[in-house]
Amino acid sequence: MSPEPRIVKETFARLEADPAGATSYFYGRLFAREPRLRALFPPAMSIQHDRFFHALTRIVWSQDNPEELTGHLGRLGRDHRKYGVLREHYPAVETALIATLRLFAADVWTAEAERAWTGAYRSAAATMIAAAGRDASDHPPWWIAEVTGHDRRDHDLAVLELRPERPLPFLPGQHVSVQTARWPRVWRPYSIANAPRPDGTIRLHVRARPAGWVSGALVRHCAPGDTVLLGPAAGTMTLDPGHGRGLLLIGGGTGLAPMKALAEQAAASGRDRDVHLLVGARAEGGLYDLPELRRLESACARLRVVPVLSRSRGRPGGLHGRVPDVLPGYLDGVRGWRDHDAYVAGPAPLVRRTVTALQRHGMSLTRIHHDLLTAED
């Protein structure tokens, strides 16, 4: 390991010992130096603190992988456009970050450490600024979209149909960030639940979370005719256009949304491949989109939709149990399943357990796709 990444990691370990304190100090220094920057952030900063530290952690521990780091920084730079981040904001962040490191890593802080961090930060900032500049030549920082449909499927769940005012490019499996008029500067990511359509509309599956500002607004306080803001599509959980391998799609809860989009794409591609879509839920009421899935299944002879219920008996054609537990038995009945590509979405614990179950049963990790890191960013 070269000296600079080693020094960056060693000093950052001091921040990892007290992430809450370090992050609070960082934002205090930032807003004291540039009070106007506070307007770019949401009213409540707790989630922002966690996301900032997660992003910083990933940048630090990717120092030895320049290709991965460049891709990650490019995505962050493009995504930050929707927050109103400009080139001139980066020096204030540098000053606040170095001040935080001087305090929290004081016992190991040296002139060499300051040079290493300054160089690493400025290199990262340059990559983000360049990515944002390239993106600005082709795309707006956000899209205004009209709510054209709001279907309340349960007391805490709704399917929204949105029509962006201009084409919003995306691939099945990706997600967009949403901001509502009710909560300015608060963005939350939601997977797109359809393949691209000629009319440009997109669907989102939204479950209202306890104290969820955006999700609650979208489910309970949203109606046709309202408008929302959409950030650019992001995420790497997309199909490889160069391959026509069979697909194993696994969605738990509203993690069904990207799996449905991928199933639509596979059905429309004309490729001769099998598609298995496993839909995980606790009980019958969680199969909120099953009628539409059955219609898609009837239109695609090689698509099989399999409900998986963990707390009630399986329905005809379905399975009973937790998805990671029933997967091995199901896969043993699928011819050539080791040559399939697997895509998994849903609550983070479900995704992790399912990925582990697939790997233990013999599927190569190179064939297993999920979006946990991107979603956490």
DSSP characters for 194-255? S---TT--EEEEEEPPTT-HHHHHHHHS--TT-EEEEPPPB-S----TT----EEEEEEGGG
Higher per-residue confidence, 238 vs 269: 238
Give mean pLDDT, residues 256-261.
97
**Distance (Å, rounded) from C-alpha 45 to C-alpha 24?**
9
Average pLDDT over residues 276-287: 93
Span 44-90, pLDDT tens digits? 788 888 889 988 998 999 888 889 899 989 999 999 999 999 999 99
Q: Do residues 328 and 339 make contact, with C-beta atoms less than 8 angstroms apart?
A: no
Mean pLDDT in residue range 91-96: 96
List pLDDT tens digits, range 171-180: 999 999 999 9
Kindly state the average pLDDT of the residues 345-371: 93
Share of the chain above pLDDT 90, in %: 77
pTM value is 0.88
In this prediction, residue 1 carries a pLDDT of 42
Q: Average pLDDT for residues 269-286, to the nearest whole number?
A: 89
pLDDT of residue 47: 81
Compute the distance between CA of residue 69 and CA of residue 78 in angstroms, rounded to an integer: 14
Name, in order, each residue with C-beta under 8 angstroms of 86's C-beta and a sequence gap of 6 or more. none
Per-position b or e across 189-224, b if 16+ CB within 10 A of its CB: bbbbbbbbeeeebbbbbbbbeeeebbbbbbbeebee
For residue 275, what is the enclosing H or E element?
Answer: strand 275-281
| pLDDT tens, residue by residue, 120-166 | 999 999 999 999 999 999 999 999 999 999 999 999 999 999 999 99
| Residue 345 scores a pLDDT above 80 | yes
Residue 170 CA to residue 153 CA, distance in Å, equals: 25
Residues 25-38: tens digit of each pLDDT: 999 999 999 999 99
Average pLDDT over residues 205-216: 94
Specify the pairing of strand 227-230 against strand 175-180.
Answer: antiparallel
Determine the pLDDT at residue 371.
83
Q: Of 167, 188, 166, whose CA–CA distance to 177 is shortest?
A: 188
pLDDT category of residue 262 using cuts at 50, 70 and 90: very high
| pLDDT at res. 46 | 82
Report the phi/psi class of residue 317: left, alpha or beta, with left for phi > 0 and alpha for psi in -120 to 50: left
Mean pLDDT of 108-117: 95
Output the pLDDT for position 376.
45
Q: What integer pLDDT is reported at residue 311 of this predicted model?
A: 85
Residue 265's pLDDT is 95
* pLDDT at residue 51, rounded to an integer: 86
Residue type at 356 in one-letter notation: T
Mean pLDDT to the nearest integer, 229-243: 90
